[in-house]
Chains A and B, each alone.
Chain A
């Protein structure tokens, strides 16, 4: 039972490069989220989706785009990577939005040099 799977686990980018992080869940959850984790900060919401074909901005959306073309996948794109986007990125999914527990992926450690 895979749960929430993030790809890749690690990545190093040069400033200005672009990349896409993939999140896949096999629990048929409607809600999916992208968070970033930085030292001394709580998990901060980047973007979220309440169902296939929908996306919405979270607390820190600038510099990121997302797509939810299929219910099971939620993609996070970095258009032009900046050192400030060095972080650990977590994807999560939930069946009932905030009434249900969130299931997290294992995280993606991204370094932008």
Chain B
């Protein structure tokens, strides 16, 4: 069982604010790191899959970075919108077969 820590647990920002979350993980035996977005009453949807140290990925206003040597990944949201309100999950693999999920960061964006 891999210990995947996400912070903060929850976050409340105003529309237009930029924000970021952290995912921390053991740096040994790293295989892949995933970010998922999970809206209430829906299923988790993949944002990014990252495998290389130094990876940076971007999808619209959302981007992520990866540091496998120090064991962390950041997820950034630029100019938050109410539709960005969701729980953001980080998941780590060290085997190639199965993901270990963190507890998530719950984001609320108010107009």
Contacts and interface: CB of A to CB of B under 8 A. Distances in A.
Q: Do A and B come from one complex?
A: yes
Interface of A: 4, 31, 33, 35, 40-45, 48, 50, 56, 58-59, 90, 97-107
Interface in B9-44: 31-32, 34, 36, 42-44
B43 A42 contact: no
Contacts of B95: 98
Contacts of A33: 98-99
Nearest to B38: A104
Which of A33, A45, A56 has most chain B Cβ within 10 Å?
A45
10 contacts: A33-B98, A41-B103, A42-B104, A45-B98, A99-B32, A99-B96, A101-B49, A102-B44, A104-B45, A105-B43
A101 B46 contact: yes
A98 B93 contact: yes
B53 interface: no
Among A35, A97, A100, residue most surrounded by chain B Cβ atoms (within 10 Å): A97
Contacts of B102: 42
B43 A106 contact: yes
A43 B89 contact: yes
Given A42-B4, A59-B1, A104-B44, A97 B101 contact: no
Which of B31, B44, B46, B49 lies at the interface centre, i.e. has the most chain A CB atoms within 10 A of its CB? B44
